[in-house]
Amino acid sequence: MGSKKLLKKRFSIHAATYDEYAHVQKEMAKRLMKHVLHVTAKTDKINFRILEIGCGTGYLTKQLLTHFPFAHITAVDLAPGMIEKIKTKVRSSRVSFFCGDAENMHWNERYDLIVSNATFQWFHHLSKTVYQLMNALNDQGVLCFTTFGNNTFHELHTCYELAKKHLKLEKRFAQSTAGPLFDSLKQLSKKIEMVFESNSELVQIRGEEWEHREWYPSVRNFLQSIKKVGASSSTSENSIQRPSFWKEVIRLYEEKYEKDGLIRATYHPMLMSLKKVN
C-alpha cells in the first residue's frame, strides 16, 4: 500500500487542494454519517466519546460535531499538513487533534464510536488494527469505516496491464501495477471475521458496497485529480515511469473508456460496521 513516509508527505503537501478534488470521499463521508446515525440512534449521547481516524481536512469531523452536540472527538491523522489544515476549519473545544499513525498508536481511553472515512485502504496491518480498535470501544460501542474496494480504477488498471503487453514489458515489470490493489468486500469481510473467529458472538459485522463513476475531460485530468488528494496513480516501487509507456496507457484509456468527449473512472467504496455486543 506504499510507504507510510511517502503517504505522510503526499497528504501533507496536498492538504490545501484536498477539499477541491475529494468529491467521492465527501460522498462516502455522507453515507458513512447516515449509517453512523442509524447504528447509534438508541445510544445515550451524554458523555459520548468519538475517535476519528484519518480526519483529513475535517469534512466528517464537522458533521460529527453537528450530529453529536454533547460528544468529545479525538481526531487523528497521519499527515501534519492535514492536521494544520483542519485546525483552521474546525474550531471547537470538543475536538482534540493528534498527528500520528493510527496503526501504531495506543488507546488509553475508551470510545463509544470509532469512525474513519477513506483511510483504512492505506493500512499495512488492517486485521491487527481492527482488533486493537475494537478493544478501545466501550460495551455496545461501534467501529464504522469506509474504504475502497477491488474495482476502484479498474479502467486504469486494465489499460496499464494492456500497455505492458503492447510494449513487451510484462515480464520485466510483472509486479508493477497502476496503483494499490484493494480487497473485495468478501475478502475484507473474511479478514475481519477471522480476527474474531473465536469470539464471533461478541461482534456484529456488517458490510455494504457500491460503485460511483466520475467523468473527466481527459486521462491526464483524472490522474492529476488523484494526486491533488494526496494519492498517486502508482505506488509500486517497480512502477514504470517511461513517458512512452504512459502515452500508451493514455491512448488505450481514451480508446476504451471515452464517451462524449469525457473519460470515466470507477470508484468502488465499501462500508464496514462492527458493533461490540458484550
Domain locations along the chain: 4-150+181-212+268-276, 154-178+215-264
pLDDT on residue 235: 47
- Kindly state the cell numbers that stand for 20: 477541491
Which grid coordinates are listed for 63? 458533521
Amino acid 1: pLDDT: 54
Question: Which letter does DSSP use for residue 48 in this model?
Answer: -
Strands 49-53 and 72-77: parallel
pLDDT in tens, the chain (278 residues): 568 888 899 999 999 999 999 999 999 999 999 999 999 998 887 889 999 999 999 999 999 999 999 999 999 999 999 999 999 999 999 999 999 999 999 998 999 999 999 999 999 999 999 999 999 999 999 999 999 999 999 999 999 999 999 999 999 999 899 988 999 999 999 999 999 987 777 899 999 999 999 999 999 999 999 999 988 644 445 578 899 999 999 999 999 999 999 999 999 999 999 998 86
Strand extents, DSSP E, 79-226: 95-99, 111-116, 137-148, 203-209, 212-216
Cell of 259: 464517451
Q: Which residues of 24-33 are buried (b: 16+ CB within 10 A; e: fewer)?
A: bbeebbebbb
pLDDT of residue 199: 77
Residue with cell 494544520: 84
Indicate the residue type of 52: E
**What are the φ and ψ backbone dihedral angles of 29, each rounded to 5 degrees?**
-65, -40
Nearest alpha-carbon partner for 118 in 18, 215, 236: 18
Distance in angstroms (rounded) separating the CA atoms of residues 40 and 32: 12
CATH 3.40.50.150 applies to domain 4-150+181-212+268-276: yes
Q: Sign of the C-alpha dihedral, residues 132, 83, 33, 121? A: negative
| Alpha carbons 168 and 242: distance in angstroms, whole number | 13
Task: Tell me how far apart the alpha carbons of residues 9 and 190 are, in angstroms, rounded to a whole number.
Answer: 32
Burial (CB < 10 A; 0-12, 13-18, 19+), residue 72, is middle
Kind of pairing between the strands at 262-267 and 72-77: unpaired
Separation of alpha carbons 247 and 8, rounded Å: 29
What pTM, to 2 d.p., does this model score? 0.94
Q: What is the pLDDT of residue 3?
A: 80
Nearest in space to 35 (alpha carbons), one of 133, 135, 145: 145
